[in-house]
Structure 1
């Protein structure tokens, strides 16, 4: 009888203990395949295809249970550019003890659209940047389930990156950069890096200790973050992290794209079939684990030198 009671109490204790959430490959495949499908028509800004992508992301944020960004009545941050309407998609996970300190996870969900003629007309943008957007959605679910973020997390998918970074510029003007502790911008993580599997690089590594924090949090794991090897490409100021970085935010892009030899970059061939989902899942897991000390308020990256 005592043994039965002990087992009963033990089972009850285990059931109440927090089970750390996991990032599942099946979810990554589902989200990525939807975003990069022909039905999204290449997700070019100002098209029905990008509207369909926005609606899908909004639905995913709703399923996670994210709240709305300040002043918004839904997940759409709308703005006008080139005399046309566009929108970012933003969801919030409020912080527990430091709600006015923000950690941003971002990507861009737009791409190049489609061609008028040809057998393959759609620029699916599977790697660029449906892969990053898939990561943002997966991380939103992860941190919602983990439920220990002391700082507020902002999950934002930008539009207009391919046309000049319209969405990230508008977002940056809507927030006080002094309140943003860090920005994890995720761009093209669907293929292996130059170091092969279980690795990625961080742009602007030398501009703050952001990358060092991430490396320290991954000690003992098989994953490795490296410094950007493509400095001549000036990648730090070529993605959606650039605007906030210019204001001094430790805003960095995480990528695996081999910028000197990526055969599908901005090509019709950037399709789901070219992605390594096992490796992509591990990258997203590594981002989640390496960011936890920043999300929970333990670590605060040093600021980037302002240029604005």
Structure 2
């Protein structure tokens, strides 16, 4: 039997034979760009900081060196208008009152809360708490957690994820264990606002959230970015936030309720919201700063159909300075997330430019503020430099494989688009199999920048190395993924390691190169599959473009 390393050598050989026209993916680019972007000098690459200036300048410089042209009317940048709101932790207050007893919650340790309203201060006083289950209003699925309840002046207490999570399996009203958009925290706050609530508080639970409380604390304290708005986002609820599971148990117990019992009830069709008969009050003082961030755009113009586009995306930003670890390190460097993806974007630009123009134009888009809610890609989708109707499709990269080659490739959002056929062909050339993601309950499809483009109809592929490693198998791959999520995700310890194994990343980038090149040299217009939620948007945009 061949050894794991021998199997990898055979895989590389097969890949080389199948893609002998593909330029080499530069290992030096992957290493040096990742190491530079994740160095302390870049201070965690938070948008609108000096770290941004260093980051976008480096990306534009590397794009130019690769042979790309500036992608936005002769310039490398697309301005993204953002507003930064920073809650004062010393005056932030949230507490609930049951009878004569008021319980104040510790900001950061027990509750994290903020406002999206662009105002210097927010007060919510004596607002009744209402348990609204999963906070979902989905008429197409016959489900409305807000049925019959007036949320005006009330605060919604909401469970994370969606009703099928605890059941497991692959089928159900909310697609089994695969998280739907209704399970995302972004949706829950949006729906609470549509219901007229005075606040929306999500109950944290590690498994359905897919991350621990430390991620909540590091991600939602300190400066918070959002898209700037002429109406100052006054359509949002005054207070948004999270509480720990222990706090939620205590809060509901003070109301004479049991969180576990209500959670079980919330998973059943026909659940109705439960007014808790206790109130909560909150106060925030905010510092407000308006400043544009930037997407970086490079283009390799097409030789035959330059007004048709294939796009690669990756986000360049991370959290900047965050909650210090036990050593006092307060820089969330974001080496894996997503300095590696940005380095991969540059490496692909180099490879495509070295191969010469394809028939269609190739777009390389490094977006800002992904960590703040996909803001850079959402702005691009709403204000596209290259029309969505003329964008054939694309590939998104959010963290490359630095743990060694895998026998499989996983698709996040498996079964949604016709781009998977292109991946199948490319993976077969490497002797690898294509599979659904192993943990769809994490909602990864809604957590990276391909989602912004998908929402306007552009078919996007988000694929990655699977966990079945050539050396160590699925057990080793799963252990590495779980260790990263538990110990390094959105933490200061996500730092560059010179001992990383880049061979898996090189293989994956070979796939992305092959898919992009095939699309760019073809006349194909792949679509979302008929049952995908983005199919209607694609059909409409292509119809407007005159496609029959």
TM over 0.5: yes
Whole-Å separation in 2 of the counterparts to 1:109 and 1:265: 16
Measure, in 2, the Cα distance between the counterparts of 1:180 and 1:109: 22
Q: For structure 1, list consecutive stretches of 5 or more residues without a partner in the other structure.
A: 1-17
Q: CA deviation at 1:172?
A: 0.9
Shift of 1:298: 5.1
- Greater strand fraction, Structure 1 or Structure 2: 2
Question: Which 10-residue stretch deviates more, 21-30 or 292-301?
Answer: 292-301
Aligned residue runs from structure 1 range 67-216, under 5 A = 67-71=69-73, 73-82=74-83, 83-115=290-322, 118-175=327-384, 176-192=387-403, 197=406, 199-216=408-425
Is there any run of 5+ residues in structure 2 with no aligned partner, and where? 1-19, 84-289, 467-477, 538-548
For the residue of structure 2 that corresponds to 1:286, the secondary structure is helix
SS of 2:462's partner is strand
User: Does the C-alpha gap of structure 1 residues 198 and 88 become closer, same or farther in structure 2, counting only changes over 3 Å?
Assistant: farther
How far apart, CA to CA, are the structure 2 residues paired with 1:200 and 1:38? 32
Matching of residues 189-268 of structure 1 within 5 Å: 189-192=400-403, 197=406, 199-256=408-465, 262=484, 263=486, 264-268=488-492
| Aligned 8 A contact 1:102 1:180 in 2 | yes
TM-superposed CA distance for 1:148, in Å, is: 4.2
Residue 253 of structure 1 deviates from its aligned partner by: 1.8
3-state secondary structure, aligned to 2:320:
coil
Of 520, 532, 539, the match for 1:295: 520
Distance 1:19 1:213, change over 3 A: closer
Residues 309 and 360, structure 2, Cα contact 8 Å, conserved in 1: yes
1:192–1:299 distance in 2 versus 1, CA, 3 Å: farther
For residues 77 and 54 of structure 2, the distance between their equivalents in structure 1, rounded to whole angstroms, comes to: 13
Tell me, in whole angstroms, the C-alpha distance in 2 between the residues paired with 1:69 and 1:290.
Answer: 21
Larger fraction in helix: 1
Is the contact between residue 410 and residue 436 of structure 2 (CA under 8 Å) also seen in structure 1? Answer: yes
Q: Which residue of 1 aligns with 2:53?
A: 51
Q: Are the aligned partners of 2:406 and 2:465 in contact in 1 as well (CA < 8 Å)?
A: no
Give TM-score scaled by structure 2 length.
Answer: 0.49
Corresponding position of 1:5: none
- 2:483 and 2:27 mapped to 1: Cα distance? 26
> By how many angstroms is 1:68 displaced?
1.9
TM-score by length of 1: 0.85
Distance 1:219 1:204, change over 3 A: same
Aligned length: 288
Which string of whole-angstrom CA distances, capped at 9 and with x for unpartnered residues, describes residues 110-134 of structure 1? Answer: 0011247544232111110111111
> How well do the aligned residues superpose, as a CA RMSD in angstroms?
2.4
How far apart in 1 are the matches of 2:68 and 2:429? 32
CA gap of 1:201–1:20, structure 2 versus 1, over 3 A, is: closer
Matched residue, 1:62: 64
Structure 1 pair 220/68, CA: closer, same or farther in 2 (3 Å)? closer
Report the equivalent of 1:38: 40
| TM-aligned CA distance change 1:163 to 1:211, over 3 Å | same
Distance 1:290 1:247 in 2: 21
User: 8 Å contact 2:394–2:516 — kept in the other structure?
Assistant: no
CA–CA distance in structure 2, aligned partners of residues 191 and 173 of structure 1: 33
Question: Given that residues 188 and 256 in structure 1 are in contact (C-alpha distance below 8 angstroms), is that contact kept between their aligned partners in structure 2?
Answer: no
Contact 1:214 1:291 in 2 (8 A): no
Structure-2 change in CA distance of 1:20 and 1:187 (3 Å): closer
Aligned counterparts of 1:162 and 1:217: Cα–Cα separation in 2: 30
Contact 1:25–1:277, Cα closer than 8 Å, also in 2:
yes
* Aligned partner of residue 157 in structure 1, secondary structure: strand
Would you say the 8 A contact 2:403–2:502 is kept in 1? Answer: no
**1:299 to partner: Cα distance:** 4.1
